[in-house]
Amino acid sequence: MLWIALYLPQLPLQALPWSHTGLEAALPVAVAEQHVRLGANRAAHALGVRAGQSVATALSLLPQLVVLPREQACEAALIERLALALGALTPHLSLAPDGVLLEVQSTLRLFGGIHALLHRAQALAHASGVQARTGCAPTPGAAWLFATSGLARPHALKARSSAQQLDRLPVASLSRLLPPSPRQSELLQALGIQTLGALRALPRAGLQRRLGVDLGLALDRSYGDAPDPRPWFAPPEHFTARRELMQRADEAAVLVAAVEALLPALRGWLQLRWQAVTELALRLRHEHGREPRPDTRLRLRLSAPSRDIGQLALLWRERLQRHALAAPVYEIALELETAVPHGGTPGELLPAPGRQDGEHAALLDRLAARLGGDHVQRWVPQADHRPEHAQRARAAGEHPPAAIAIPAAAPAAPRPLWLLPLPLPLVSDALGRPRHGGPLRVCSRAERIEAGWFDGALVRRDYHVAEGADHRLRWIYREHPSDVSSGGWFLHGWFG
């Protein structure tokens, strides 16, 4: 087997609201828990703030230091969101306290090898708004130690090279797998054991008596000498991802950047669940002033199921730029409202030239996001023989309840592309022939349409294709002679 570990250094700082990138450039920031500093940004570290310092010591050294409390719930949500994003690479994921482990042996050929997988994992972490260090090894423990130790080459693809790299690691690196007790640390220091290789060379019976069974078991699992079962990550039943904004957002560009950081997790969830999205919702929580403001809920309907986060990001950008914010936003939540089973798009050995699947649906979705769903419509056929009732307009993103079955023996009568909203009465000559800018020449036999008895709007018409002096084809009809207005001609449509 082959494992990839993604370790999130400074996780307490990374789990804070996303716009700390702008805050880091201006102010030194630190995260503390129980009056002890856990993490600090580059500005604070450059001015002397170090790990393990008390808050009082850090403030005495740097009075302008911004100290924020640790948010463990935000840390867990960040790791889960990263795991969902990495679900696009493999379904075998295991969560760690400050990172994610991936078993990738089964997906190496799918993505073109381990180097391509490592590049994709780093790209997904960056797109999710986190900084991660990677490690790769045949065992999960070794991969995690390589990622957390900051090695220059934290990758070993074979068991022999992995053991050689583990032998050179300091004993203190074992704290990433199993934090040693003070007694164990003192004993290792007294014995002069500095590397994992020296620790592994000690007699195992004496090592277990003095240091306990757990430390030796963690060492054996890292080297592959003992099995290392890990619980697999299971995606939630329903997808919802939230992100708090450190600074209030009153423009679309800030909201678009925050939404784009949530889309990789959505794609991973869809792939893990073998589904595709058809309807999304974005909830904007506004800053409360003197009067509380309700949340704004924006919906996005797709004309075709999709997992393409590039398309979704473009649609949300168009949608948010068109929306006028009622008040500044301090938190967003992306919710999946409707999804359909989707096993993926089958590939082709020799794809047809010029064929691009989904291009038409993507264009409709983009127009609907920019102009509004009510301004982009499509024609849907209806079970009615009357031309003015045979189809009706629906929103481009609205899916019809059921398709209409057309019999195989349906007559291939010509139909115009342009139907007039109301039939236009025509004048007739002395012989009863229709005229429209001159005499019309009837070019087809009569097509009888008689329907509407079921709703009280009965029509009985004989339709013809007629050509005028301008050589344009018209669709005209004459009402049935038994009607009261017998003999009248009407223009109902134009042929392209």
Q: What is the pLDDT of residues 80-92, one digit of tens each?
A: 999 999 999 999 9
Specify the long-range contacts of residues 476-479, CB closer than 8 Å, at least 24 apart: 476/426, 476/434, 476/436, 476/440, 477/423, 477/449, 478/434
DSSP E strand stretches across 207-315? 240-249, 275-286, 296-306
> What pLDDT, in 10s, does the model give residues 439-449?
999 998 888 88
Per-residue confidence (pLDDT) for residue 401, from 0 to 100: 55
Pairing outcome for strands 434-435 and 489-494: unpaired
Q: What percent of the chain is helix, strand and coil (3-state, nearest 5)? A: 35, 25, 40
113 three-state secondary structure: coil
66 or 238: whose pLDDT is higher? Answer: 238
Tokens 């068991």 identify what position? 159
List the one residue out of 153, 111, 119 whose CA is nearest residue 135: 153
Asked if residues 7 and 99 have their Cβ atoms less than 8 Å apart, the reply is yes
pLDDT of 474 strictly over 60: yes
Per-residue confidence (pLDDT) for residue 108, from 0 to 100: 92
Lowest-pLDDT range of 38-42, 243-247, 405-409: 405-409
pLDDT of 120 strictly over 90: yes
> What pLDDT, in 10s, does the model give residues 27-61?
777 788 877 767 777 777 777 777 777 888 888 88
In Å, what is the CA distance from 159 to each residue of 1, 65, 114, 155?
A: 10, 46, 15, 11
Specify the long-range contacts of residues 197-200, CB closer than 8 Å, at least 24 apart: 197/166, 197/167, 197/168, 198/171, 199/171, 200/167
Pairing outcome for strands 36-40 and 29-33: antiparallel
Helix 204-211, helix 182-191: angle, nearest 10: 140
The C-alpha angle with vertex 38 and arms to 32 and 44, in degrees rounded to 5, equals 85
pLDDT of 408 strictly over 60: no
Per-residue confidence (pLDDT) for residue 20, from 0 to 100: 44
Give dist(CA 63, CA 30) in Å, integer. 12
pLDDT band at 430 (very low <50, low <70, confident <90, very high): confident
Asked if residues 137 and 143 have their Cβ atoms less than 8 Å apart, the reply is yes
Q: Backbone dihedral region of 387: left (phi > 0), alpha (psi from -120 to 50 degrees) or beta?
A: alpha
**What percent of the chain is modeled with pLDDT above 90?**
41
Give dist(CA 121, CA 107) in Å, integer. 13
296 or 26: whose pLDDT is higher? Answer: 296
The C-alpha angle with vertex 253 and arms to 278 and 266, in degrees rounded to 5, equals 30
Tokens 């009888």 identify what position? 448
List the one residue out of 416, 476, 420 whose CA is nearest residue 444: 476
Asked if residues 351 and 383 have their Cβ atoms less than 8 Å apart, the reply is no
Lowest-pLDDT range of 7-21, 96-110, 189-203, 221-235: 7-21
Winning range, highest mean pLDDT, from 62-71, 138-147, 184-193, 202-211: 138-147
Asked if residues 330 and 235 have their Cβ atoms less than 8 Å apart, the reply is no
pLDDT of 79 strictly over 90: yes
Q: What is the mean pLDDT of the chain?
A: 84
Give dist(CA 238, CA 269) in Å, integer. 9
Give dist(CA 74, CA 245) in Å, integer. 12
322 three-state secondary structure: helix
pLDDT band at 276 (very low <50, low <70, confident <90, very high): very high
List the one residue out of 112, 184, 189, 195 whose CA is nearest residue 149: 195
What type of residue sits at position 315?
A: L
Per-residue confidence (pLDDT) for residue 103, from 0 to 100: 96
Asked if residues 191 and 162 have their Cβ atoms less than 8 Å apart, the reply is no
pLDDT of 356 strictly over 90: no
Count of alpha carbons within 13 Å of 29, Cβ hemisphere only? 20
Helix 213-223, helix 159-167: angle, nearest 10: 130
Question: Tokens standing for 318?
Answer: 């168009």
